[in-house]
Structures are given as C-alpha cells and as structure tokens.
Amino acid sequence: MTPFGGNSLQARDVASFIHPYTNMVAHEAQGPLVMTRGEGVFVIDDDGKRYLEAMGGLWCASLGFSERRLAEAAYQQMLKLPFYHTFAHKSTDVSIELAEQLLAMAPVPMSKVFFVNSGSEANDTVVKFVWYYNNALGRPAKKKIISRIKGYHGVTVASASLTGLPNNHRDFDLPIANILHTDCPHWYRFGHPGESEEDFATRMAESLEALIQRERPDTIAAFIAEPVQGAGGVIVPPATYWAKIQPILKKYDILLIADEVICGFGRTGNPWGSTTVGMEPDILSCAKALSAAYAPIGAVMVSERVYQVARDNSGKIGTFGHGYTYSGHPMSCAVALETLKIYRERDTFGHAAAMAPIMQATLRAYLDHPLVGEVRGVGLVAAVELVADKATHQSFDAKLGVGPYLMKCGHQHGIVVRAMGDAIAFCPPLIISEEEIQEMGQRFGLALADTYQWLKDQGHV
C-alpha cells in the first residue's frame, strides 16, 4: 500500500518504478514529482503547477522544453530513415554531416568522431580507446587513468570508476582496477589557511606529479577532467591550474581527455569549456546539449595522433571491436544537426555569454546571506554553497540535509534547483532571458529564506 490516492500517477510510480539516484525507501513515502509538459524554461507538473527549471533538467535542456523545430526534425527523420546503423562500413547521411560539423567546431584540431548515446557511454568508449591505443603502441603496462575527486564522468562500470564521488562506488564494488583519483581543485574547500589561489594551483600540480611518480609514469595512460566540474559541485579551477597541469601530462606522455558533457555547447561562455579554462585535449567527450537533450546522443572526438594508432591496430588485428547498436542513430543525429543549426542561427552561445554576468551577479547578491559561504561559477553554470560557519567554511552536518531541504522549498516556490550536498546548482537553459534570471534569483531567495527559518527553528543557526 502506498500513501497516495488510488490510481494516481504517484501511486502507480511507486508501485512500478526504480528511479535513478533515489533513496527507494524515501521514495515510497514521498512519491515522485510528475512533470507532464514543458514551456520555454518552465516545466509543468500533473497539477498544472509551473516550475522554472534552473537546472535545464540534468544540465542539458539547453533550448528549453518546447522547441518545436527539434520535434519536427525528429519526426521528419523518423519518416525518412528511422534507423540505420554504422557498424562494419555502413553509414548514414545525417551521421556523416554531424561528424563533420563537430570536427569543424572542435576546440582544438580533432581527426575523427565516434558516436554514442550518453555521457557514460562516451567515457566508457574513451577508457577502451585509451587501453586499445597503448596496447597498439606496445605499452601494455601504460593503462592507468587518473581522474579527480568530485569529478563526474557517468555511471557505467568504467565511467563510474572514473567518477570521484563515494556514492557511485559504494556497494557497487567500484572503482575497477587501474583508475586513480587526484585532488579536486576547489580552493574554497581544499585550500590551506592563508594559501593563495596560485599557490593552491601549484600544490595541485605537484600532487599530481607525485602521484604519477609513485605509480610510475610508464603505467599512467591518461588524465580525464571536466573543464568545470559539474555534479561534484560546480568547481571552476584556479586560473593557472591547467597551465600547471598540462606540461606534467606532456612530460610523461599522458593523454588529456576533456569531459565536455556539461561544459560543451556554450555552457561556460564559449562553445567549449576547454577554451574557457585553457585545456588542449587529445580526446573529447560530449553529449547532453549536443541534441539540447531532446534525443539521446553523445560523441567522442579523437586527435589525429590517437586516431592513427587505433587505425593501424584495427588494420593489424582485423577490427576496432567496439560500438553500440544506436551509435549514430539517425533520429538523434537529425535532432543534433537541428540543434547545432539553431545554435548558429540564433547565436545561442552569444546569448548565453551575454546572460552569464547577469546570472552570476544575481546569485552573488546572496553572498551577504548568513547561510551562503561561496557563490561560484562561470557562464551559465553556478553553485551557491551553504555553510554553518562563514568564517571557517565549516559545513553543516550532512545528516541535517540542508541542501535537499532547500531543494524541496524550491519546489514550493516554483523553481527546480539541484542540491549536491549543501551546494545548490544552477544550470538553466541557455535560452533563459534576463527577466527569467531575475525570477530565478527571487524564487531561490524565497527557498533560501525558508531554509534559514527551518534551521533557526531547530537552533542550528
């Protein structure tokens, strides 16, 4: 029996559904918030209540929730060629066109594109590519991949291993072998007292080099990183971080992989996050805003050097034995092509870059609030971190669930944000207007005030 009315959507959900990233016990008591429609930056629930979707769903709905051109692109492709694959020398017109367009817009010269259906599949593909590459080069020991604490790279077995968050490993017997995690470049949280941001960046680089030395450089194959860490808390690295990290990777012949699954396609104020932070990757993974999230598709781009090695090896052993039934799915490719066309025609990235300072300032206005320790972000991605003590940066006891409480207050006030612990994330559709940013700030302010009152009532502040 559920606490929900008879045959309601809530009761049917609880009776039938295992949700991703959800406490199943809590879900049985609480039930789902069921969305049934979308309109611009708003989603509308089964009661007709409107929510400003300040997370673009899951950092992805870049064109909002009602772009008819994408629906039309999907429909027309479904009529023309609903499915064909790309295995064993087969191809489609739309997948070829999309590969060309991605290469033309890549942040650094890239040679070839491999299509996948999600960010996790992209990063699993990257792991296999890196291993294949080093086997091909006759370096069977050079297999370890370094990612970062609080990095997020997905949930499949290899990509979850890359992810540097405890909940993605716990009770799943992860990470697998050959995955290492180095420091998270979050100065506010991990800087030593009195340490400048520049010195902190130097320490991050020294720590990485020490790890490489400890493990032996001839065992380290690659370093994977999001330009701006997303699900780990929206962490923008110090300005000189990549200038210090990249020479170390070059010195030890370690490939750099940019996970652009969130940052790609205008999110950080440039077409790619790599440009924003100064990364020059050998391999790049992307997904989400590639299709404005209207169809599942992702892509891995590889440099000429990486491609040539894989190419020669596939010639030698007979195949590159990897691929998904839906790699380059025509409907997803058609939606992605229309998405890229809309980005160009409407200068969506330019609009996002113009809105960025407004959103960052709107959120930074809350820095004076007694609960707000840090407001961080770049472009149209940001986080507001709630703390128990602003002077010492002391966090609240995680058991209090301050961030999740604020998220629920947000629902009451008609805004969807995401709590990553006590860091509240914002990643609205790139089409958000100035007025909608103000509205987002106001609704967040109401949720913050409720949260403060709740903590006060319990004597926590």
- Which residues of this chain interact with ligand PLP, rule CB under 6 A? 58-59, 118-120, 123, 152-154, 226, 230-231, 259, 261-262, 287
Select the residue whose beta carbon is closest to ligand PLP and give its number. Answer: 119
Environment class of 278 (CB within 10 Å of its CB; exposed 0-12, middle 13-18, buried 19+): middle
Q: Which helix (H) or strand (E) holds 422?
A: none
Compute the least distance from the CB of residue 11 to ligand PLP, in Å: 28
The full DSSP string for 83-99 is ----STT---HHHHHHH
Compute the least distance from the CB of residue 399 to ligand PLP, in Å: 26
Compute the least distance from the CB of residue 263 to ligand PLP, in Å: 7
Cis, bond preceding 185 (omega within 30 deg of 0): no
Q: In terms of CB distance, is 262 or 310 closer to ligand PLP?
A: 262
Compute the least distance from the CB of residue 87 to ligand PLP, in Å: 22
Q: In terms of CB distance, is 57 or 441 closer to ligand PLP?
A: 57
Nearest CA-CA partner of 434 in 397, 380, 374: 380
The Cα–Cα gap between 210 and 414 comes to: 48
Compute the least distance from the CB of residue 229 to ligand PLP, in Å: 8
Q: Do 65 and 430 form a contact (C-beta atoms < 8 A)? A: no
Adjacent-strand bridge partners of 381: 378
Q: In terms of CB distance, is 10 or 123 closer to ligand PLP?
A: 123
Compute the least distance from the CB of residue 336 to ligand PLP, in Å: 14
Q: In terms of CB distance, is 407 or 448 closer to ligand PLP?
A: 407
Compute the least distance from the CB of residue 284 to ligand PLP, in Å: 12
Provide the token pair at 135.
Answer: 């086997």
In the β-sheet with 372-378, what is the strand arrangement from edge to edge?
372-378, 381-386, 423-426, 418-420
Q: In terms of CB distance, is 55 or 204 closer to ligand PLP?
A: 55
Q: In terms of CB distance, is 145 or 388 closer to ligand PLP?
A: 145
Q: How far is CA 264 from CA 172, 261, 271, 346, in A?
A: 29, 6, 6, 17
Adjacent-strand bridge partners of 35: 45
Q: For the chain, give percent helix, strand, coil, nearest 5.
A: 45, 15, 40
- Give me the residue label for tokens 């109401």: 446
**Interacting residues of 458 by C-beta distance below 8 A, sequence separation 6+:** none
Q: Do 191 and 197 form a contact (C-beta atoms < 8 A)? A: yes
Compute the least distance from the CB of residue 69 to ligand PLP, in Å: 23
Q: Which helix (H) or strand (E) holds 434?
A: helix 434-457
Compute the least distance from the CB of residue 407 to ligand PLP, in Å: 17
Q: In terms of CB distance, is 152 or 444 closer to ligand PLP?
A: 152
The Cα–Cα gap between 175 and 185 comes to: 21
Q: In terms of CB distance, is 269 or 441 closer to ligand PLP?
A: 269
Q: In terms of CB distance, is 154 or 403 closer to ligand PLP?
A: 154
